[in-house]
Structure formats: structure tokens, C-alpha cells
Amino acid sequence: MAVLTLKNWLKELAGEKPLIIAGPCSAETEEQVLTTAIGVKEAGAHILRAGIWKPRTRPGNFEGVGAIGLEWLKKAKEKTGLLTTVEVANPIHVELALKNDVDILWIGARTSVNPFAIQEIADALKGVDKIVLVKNPVNPDLALWIGALERINKAGIDKLGAIHRGFSSFKKMKYRNEPLWQIPIDLKTQFPDLPLINDPSHITGKRDMVFDVSQTAIQLKFDGLMIETHINPEKAWSDAAQQITPATLRNIVNRLEIPKDRAYDPDLLKSLRDLRDEIDALDKELVEILFQREEKTREIAGLKWKENISIYQKERWLDILQKARKNALEKGIELKFIEQLYRILHQESLKIQHHVFKEENSRKR
């Protein structure tokens, strides 16, 4: 079981409110960095972000202004009092960021996927007292994310945080990166003291969805948001479609509904308790139904085995799926959810049938 030695740095910066990190995807010009910094400060941000070295999917795109951008960030800090953060992907970036007084370093999704790269960064951070934020790896692998955090922590960095920026997927979907909320929730459950920040910009890839994902994250008790903000988003040199203006940022920060940790009103508490009891009873029934379904699956497998019929029956699977869709539609349950659920059920059913075949075969021998 992984253990992280953590020091609380969050409250000092943001108090009880969500921590807001904002700024352009990339630093482009001194003017752009300074104007954006003033705008995000007015919007309520605590930290100014800007990419200096940009990991681009294809070569030939803008790859960042490089170390000169660090000078602009220094000026922006002097002007606004905002702390600054940049992405570091190797020991040279770390050295340059430290030399130029960057306050917080973040590790990008394409770096946290690689333990060699993370270890090199961790080694470069030995003896350094900075806040380090680790984005989730591009693929949905919680252990890899935790491993990256552990490596940085073992180098002596105890002011750590995690940034959830979603996961790349081959599926066609409305988001640029699939949120898979259960993964950051599992991380938070395992490390309650690790600040968890959501990056709605890289999850959505589209500015008009940034508010909704931000609100979802805050509802899920994330500790903060990292939101790409640009004075002229349409003209941004990278990630133009997802960046918002400082005015929109201000609007988002003001509109966010921040939930209370728990209920206090006795009537509400009683209603919640009653409803939870009912859910517990339904969950028990659900498991009983699943058990009965598995029993039927085993019986079917026995019959198939006797006649040597293949386990997977395409027509039957399509029939199950179609009936499930119809039932869901009648009840107003989201189709996508039901389809996912039935895929899992079907996968389990195939596994059970394989198991029965194996047992029967070994008995025959």
C-alpha cells in the first residue's frame, strides 16, 4: 500500500474556497502573459499557469517559447502577486524553473506516464522546497499516477497535489479526454490529504463545456480547478478551442455552487438516512438478482457444453442488448449507462460459462 508523507499547503493559498489556477495554455508574448495575469487575478485566481515548453502531439506545431517565458512570468508575479506554475518534463526544465523563481511545478500527462522521466525529475527535485502537482497519466492507470506521486514524494517533496485532466480514449465522445471520475475519486479516497485539482479545459477540449465540468468537480469535492485562460482565446497558439477569457473565468468562479461537506438539519438528516436505508435494501436485492442471473447462466452453460455449442452467441447477445435498451427507454434510464452495464454483465457471463466448460471438461477426463 502506497504511503505519501504530505504537508498541507492548500489552505494557506485558498482557505476554504476552491484553489483556482488559471492562465494560458502557452506563454506566447510578454504582453499576453502580463495582461492575462492581471485578468485572472481580477477573476479570483490564486496561481498563474503558463506552458513554456509544450508537448505537442505532432511535430511542426508551436512547441513553446522556452526559457524567455520564465522572465515574463517573473514580471507577472511582481505585477500581480500571483504565484506561478509551469510544466516541467525533464531535469533541465526543473533547473530553469527553479532558477527563475517559479513557485509551483506541474508534471504533464505525457510525462507522468513514464517512470524513467518521473524519476529523473524526482532526482532533480532532491532538497527543493516547492509545491509539485502531478497530472494523471494519459491512460487510465491509477497505479501509474500514484507511482509518479510516490517517486516525487520519495525525493522529499511533501507539498504535493494531483491534477485530473481526463484520459485519452479511442472512443468517439463529447470530451477531448474522458473524465472517468471514479479514478480521481479512488485517489482521493486513498489519500484524503492530497489536494485534488480538476482541469476542465483538457477534459472538455471546448470552452462552452468548461463550466459544467468545473461544477461537477466541485460537487465531487475536488479542492480546486486549473482552467486555461487567454486574453484572446480564438487566436491562441495552442489549445485555442478550450481556452476562455478572464471575464468568462470570473463568471465561472462566481457561478460555482460550493456544496457543504454534510447536512446538519435534523429533518434532512432523517430523510437522508431513510432513503439510504432504502438504497441499501435495493442493493441487497440487486445482488440477489445478479446471483440468480449467474445461476441461470451456469445452467445454460451446462446445456451448451453437453451439445458442444459455442459459448458466444451473437444473435442472443444482440437480443439481450436490444431488450435492455427497450426496458431502459421505458424507465427513462440513460441508454449509455445500461449498455455499459450489460457489456459488463455479458463479459462476466462469458467468463462464468468458460469456467463451467473447463470444470466439465476436467470432470470428463
Shortest reach from residue 173's CB to Mn ion, in Å: 19
Q: Of 135 and 188, which CB lies nearer to ligand PEP in the complex structure?
A: 135
Query: Residues 187, 194: contact at Cβ < 8 Å?
Result: yes
Kindly write out the interface string for residues 3-42 of this chain, putting x where it contacts Mn ion by CB under 5 A and - elsewhere: ----------------------x-----------------
Burial class for 239, CB neighbours closer than 10 Å (0-12, 13-18, 19+): buried
Nearer to Mn ion, 28 or 239 (CB): 239
What backbone torsions phi and psi does residue 244 show, to the nearest 5 degrees?
-120, 165
Shortest distance, CB of residue 52 to ligand PEP, whole angstroms?
10
- Measured from the CB atom, the residue of 25 and 213 that comes closer to ligand PEP is 25
- Which residues is 23 bridged to in the sheet? 228
Residues 202-231 that bind ligand PEP (CB under 6 A): 202
Q: Count the alpha carbons within 13 Å of 252 in the hemisphere toward its beta carbon.
A: 33
199 binds Mn ion (CB under 5 A): no
- Using the rule CB under 5 A, give the single segment among 1-9, 235-243, 294-302, 355-363 that binds Mn ion: 235-243
Among 6, 19, 102, 109, which residue interacts with ligand PEP (rule: CB under 6 A)?
A: 109
Half-sphere exposure of 330 (CA within 13 A, CB side): 6
Burial grade of 294 (CB within 10 A; 0-12, 13-18, 19 or more): middle
Residue nearest to ligand PEP (CB): 108
When CB distances are held under 5 to 8 angstroms depending on the partner's kind, the choice from ligand PEP, Mn ion, none that residue 77 binds is: none
In the complex, minimum distance from the CB of residue 239 to ligand PEP, in angstroms, rounded to a whole number = 6
**Amino acid letter, 162:** A
Number of alpha carbons in the 13 Å side-chain half-sphere of residue 62: 15
Q: How many whole angstroms separate alpha carbon 59 and alpha carbon 61? A: 6
Kindly tell me which of 109 and 131 has the beta carbon lying closer to Mn ion.
109
Q: How far is the CB of 27 from ligand PEP (least distance, A)?
A: 11
Nearer to ligand PEP, 10 or 27 (CB): 27
CB distance 183 to 142 below 8 Å: yes
Element (H, E) at 227: strand 224-228
Q: Please state the closest distance from residue 362 (CB atom) to ligand PEP, in A.
A: 49
Return the range that interacts with Mn ion (CB under 5 A); candidates 82-90, 128-136, 236-244, 314-322: 236-244
- The upper half-sphere exposure of residue 65, i.e. CA atoms within 13 Å in the direction of its Cβ, equals 20
Q: Which of 84, 239, 305, 353 binds Mn ion (CB under 5 A)?
A: 239
Least separation in angstroms between residue 359's CB and ligand PEP is: 47
14: cell is: 485558498
Site stretch for ligand PEP (CB under 6 A), options 61-69, 102-110, 183-191, 280-288: 102-110
Decide if residue 52 touches ligand PEP (CB under 6 A).
no
To the nearest whole angstrom, how small is the minimum distance from the Cβ of residue 110 to ligand PEP? Answer: 6
Do 117 and 93 touch, CB atoms closer than 8 A? no
Rule CB under 6 A: say whether 188 interacts with ligand PEP. Answer: no
Closest CA to 227 of 22, 18, 40: 22
Helices 142-154 and 182-190 sit at what angle, rounded to 10 degrees? Answer: 40
> Which CB atom, from 241 or from 350, has the smaller least distance to ligand PEP?
241
Q: Does 25 participate in binding ligand PEP (rule CB under 6 A)?
A: yes
Among 23, 108, 161, 184, contact with ligand PEP (rule: CB under 6 A)? 108
3-state class (DSSP) for residue 326: helix
In this structure, the strands spanning 196-198 and 104-107 are unpaired
Q: What is the DSSP string of 143-166?
A: HHHHHHHHHHHHTT--SEEEEE--
On whether the CB atoms of residues 360 and 302 are closer than 8 A, the answer is yes
Contact pick of 46, 151, 164, 165 for ligand PEP (by CB under 6 A): 165
User: Taking CB within 5 to 8 Å according to partner kind, which of Mn ion, ligand PEP, none is near residue 304?
Assistant: none
Q: Which amino acid is at 181?
A: W
> Which residues lie near ligand PEP (CB under 6 A)?
25, 51, 55, 108-110, 135, 165, 202
Binding site for Mn ion (CB under 5 A): 25, 239
